[in-house]
Amino acid sequence: MKIHRIAVIPGDGVGPEVVEEGLRVMQAAQSLSAGSPLELERFSWGSEFYLTTGTMMPSDALQTLASFDAIYLGAVGDPRVPDDVTLHGLLLPIRKAFDQYACVRPIYLYPGVCSPLADKASGSIDMVVIRENTEGEYADVGGRVYPGSPHEVAIQAGIFTRHGTERVIRYAFDLARQPGRRKKVTSITKSNAQRFGMVFWDEVFRVVAKDYPEVATESQLVDVACMNFVRKPESFDVVVASNLFGDILTDLGAIIVGGMGLAPSGNINPSKAHPSMFEPTHGSAPDIAGKGMANPLAAILTGAMMLEFLGEAKSTSLIRKAVASILAQGQARTPDLGGSARTGEVGDELLAMM
């Protein structure tokens, strides 16, 4: 029987708490569904590691991770460590080294969850945002000269290659074709202001669209898209955006379906030539770390995404149905969803439901 080797990076803040519940639920689902065993290896990398060693992860971390089938990450971030160190010391190196070019972030309004938007029925908000994940505005190209002087200059460049842009747009179109989707792709840019990178993105989008005549298309400026995420989120199906715009839009998307505690994501290498990394969209939430208040559902749904990517369809379905059931019934809700349940109690309820 195949064994799935999973690298587990619990990370910082609430990361270890939600990861623990995610692992409990995934392993139970695999057992109940007679799925392949999960072989887990934990790595204590992150902000505490940085405060001790001066790096977010060891120099050979990428070589170590390369042998795994997938990476399961909790969260990284600590008030004692600058955010750019966290991002460029762990998250971006992993995404780039393993060519995880498609960041997949589902946005779905579950039955029993109240959207902050008025009169939104369950299931009416059902979209997937595909965020370009390895270049764009997070390419880390630029620099500073004359630091600390009145003439200091900072330059930050966005990098858009035809290869990188076309493949992530094509990934979005392929997803829109899948059963259950509405065969529509919306591209998000700011091409009225950014005449080079964003106009280029628009051109590539139109070229790729010709290969998918059955898929409806539209392009929106990012400011318009933000308004429409609030005004008419039902109009979106598959959304594709650059690294920065995809990051911003998915936080807004999470809030309109109940909050960051319900927002899973996957950093995908579609070829599976390298491991993909799965992480809840929320941060490390240091203000509630260790208090048992963190909502583990985003991490649990992220685990379901990982199992789906690994070919474990039965376990994936079991977890998602259990999550939908406890949300619909209003059981075991953490404070962010208006309840008083503790993190572990949500995991317990899911295990009982399965």
Show which residues are catalytic.
Answer: 146, 190, 223, 247, 251
Give pairs for 77-82: CB < 8 Å, separation 24+: 77/12, 77/13, 77/47, 77/283, 77/284, 77/286, 78/12, 78/13, 78/46, 78/47, 78/48, 78/51, 78/284, 78/286, 79/286, 80/47, 80/51, 81/47, 81/50, 81/51
Give rounded-to-5 percent helix, strand, coil for the chain.
40, 20, 40
CB atoms near residue 349 (< 10 Å) = 18
CA distances from 336 to 76, 293, 308 (A): 20, 8, 27
- The first and second tokens of residue 309, run together, are 């990517």
| Cα–Cα dist 52/309, whole Å | 35
CA distances from 88 to 51, 84, 165, 294 (A): 15, 6, 22, 25
- The first and second tokens of residue 208, run together, are 């790729």
Cβ atoms 305, 282 nearer than 8 A = no
| Residue 316 CB partners (closer than 8 Å, separation 6+) | 29, 304, 305, 307, 308
